[in-house]
Amino acid sequence: MRKTELQINLSNLENNLKVIKSTTSAEIQAVIKANAYGLDINEICETIENEVESFAVITVDEALNLRKKTKKPILILQGVHEIADYDKVKDFNLDFVIHSDWQLDSMPEVDLSNSRAWLKINTGMNRLGFHPEEFINRYQKLIDKNLKELILMSHLASSSEKSDPRNMEQIKLFSNLTENFDNKRSLANSGAIFNFYEAHFDIVRPGIAIYGGKYFEHGIKPVTCLRSKITMLKNIKAGDSVGYDGSWIASSDCIIAGIPIGYADGYPYSSKSAEVSINGKKFKTAGKINMDLITINLEQDSSIKIGDWVELWGFDTNLTSFSQEFNSISYQLLTNISGRVNKNYLE
């Protein structure tokens, strides 16, 4: 069997939820879109179900799959993509976002009394949601529907940047627009949970913080370790090149190790050397990251053997800093892990 795996520390995952819960008095909606940020939606649901008020996904298919695992509310974050999806919303008691007129005006006369609608207001991100001047009119249209509940929501554009003045502008606008309504309100994502208590309102919606991708200064712990076993060792002479295009040339005699993982598994493509860890020692990759193989310069360390584990990133890795080496973000590292990488869940 190909020895490449993503280890997932469920204790660290649970720690992260405890940190979030200690930071807010609001209810928690766990965002588990993109297959729980690559960690597997079913396993993560089972682990955190008792700690959250509800879940959020992007697609109807994700919601239907998740409904097999939980009776808790499930929100479709971008709402329906086709009018026919409202039938599934009804049949499976799904919550849904309304952010566009076509979603609202085309809503069929079906019984949605077991579903919550989330009316999205554009407070400055200028992506999804109704403009402030449209809010009251769309609100009036929705309260005439037979809904279980109507929740008011928006999204901050720069919540991880505490000094960005646009955050307080958005928070103030959302608060002013909705303060005279009895509806529950939701604005805060992971960044706002830690940076802007004023944005917590009734329901917060953490995503990346649950999975250990950011906010380590607040007690969040990394949840994943990506690793692969050495399957090849080769002696290389000084001046020899390694890999595609001969882009890496040995400056001295060395040992090259190979591990069966590459960009097809979700590890970022790069022609630059990246640091890896083997038996507690640090080494650098050699040559371009391949689709299915990564080569590593062991220099003259003959203690490394076939079958030793190589950590591409570990439980002590700050994924935010690590991802920046590839001009990427921690979200992308996690969600890009492919289905051919085995997942190994640790308690």
Is a pLDDT exceeding 90 seen at residue 160?
no
Other beta carbons within 10 angstroms of residue 106's beta carbon come to: 12
User: What's the pLDDT score for residue 152?
Assistant: 98
Pair 238, 220: CB distance under 8 Å: no
Report the DSSP pairing between strands 275-278 and 309-313.
antiparallel
CA 346/CA 144 separation, integer angstroms = 48
Q: What angle do CA 48, 113, 199 make, to 5 degrees?
A: 50
- pLDDT 10s digits, 256-292: 999 999 999 999 998 889 999 999 999 999 999 999 9
Give the confidence band of 146 by pLDDT, cuts at 50, 70, 90: confident
Is 244 among the catalytic positions? yes
Residue pLDDT, tens place only, 172-187 = 999 999 999 999 999 9
pLDDT of residue 62: 95
Q: Which residue has the tokens 């991880």?
A: 160
Per the CB < 8 A criterion, the answer to whether 223 and 19 are in contact is: no
Query: Collapsing DSSP states into helix, strand and coil, what is residue 65?
Result: helix
Task: Map out the domains of the chain as residue ranges.
Answer: 10-211, 224-314
3-state secondary structure labels for all residues of 109-172:
CCCEEEEEEEEEECCCCCCCCECHHHHHHHHHHHHCCCEEEEEEECCCCCCCCCCCHHHHHHHH
Q: How many CB atoms lie within 10 A of CB 325?
A: 13
Residue 55 to residue 92: CA distance in whole angstroms? 14
Task: Identify the pLDDT of residue 1.
Answer: 76
The answer, yes or no, to whether residue 44 has pLDDT greater than 80, is: yes
Q: Which CATH superfamily is domain 224-314 in?
A: Lyase, Ornithine Decarboxylase; Chain A, domain 1 (2.40.37.10)
pLDDT category at 10 given cuts 50, 70, 90 is very high
Tokens representing 155 are 């999204």
Q: What is the pLDDT of residue 347?
A: 84
pLDDT of residue 157: 93
- 18, 172, 244, 269: which is the annotated catalytic residue? 244
pLDDT-derived band of residue 331, with 50, 70 and 90 as boundaries?
very high
CA distances from 153 to 24, 75, 132, 188 (A): 17, 12, 12, 9
Among residues 33, 184, 214, 288, the one annotated as catalytic is 33
Question: Between the CA of residue 195 and those of 52, 83, 175, what are the distances in Å?
Answer: 21, 37, 17
Query: What is the chain's mean pLDDT, rounded?
Result: 95
Q: Judge whether 346 and 7 are in contact, CB under 8 Å.
A: yes
Q: Which of 110, 76, 105 is nearest to 91 (CA)?
A: 110
33 is known as an active-site residue: yes
Percent of the chain whose pLDDT exceeds 90: 92
The single-letter DSSP state of residue 26 is S
Whether residue 2 is predicted with pLDDT greater than 90 in this model: the reply is no
Q: Answer left, alpha or beta for residue 316, where phi above 0 means left and psi between -120 and 50 means alpha.
A: alpha
CATH superfamily of 10-211: Alanine racemase (3.20.20.10)
User: Which tens digit of pLDDT belongs to each residue from 82-134?
Assistant: 999 999 999 999 999 999 999 999 888 888 999 999 999 999 989 999 999 99
Other beta carbons within 10 angstroms of residue 122's beta carbon come to 19
CB count in 10 Å sphere of residue 24: 19
Query: For the chain, how many helices (H) and strands (E)?
Result: 11, 19
What are the tens digits of pLDDT across the range 188-209? 999 999 999 999 999 999 999 9
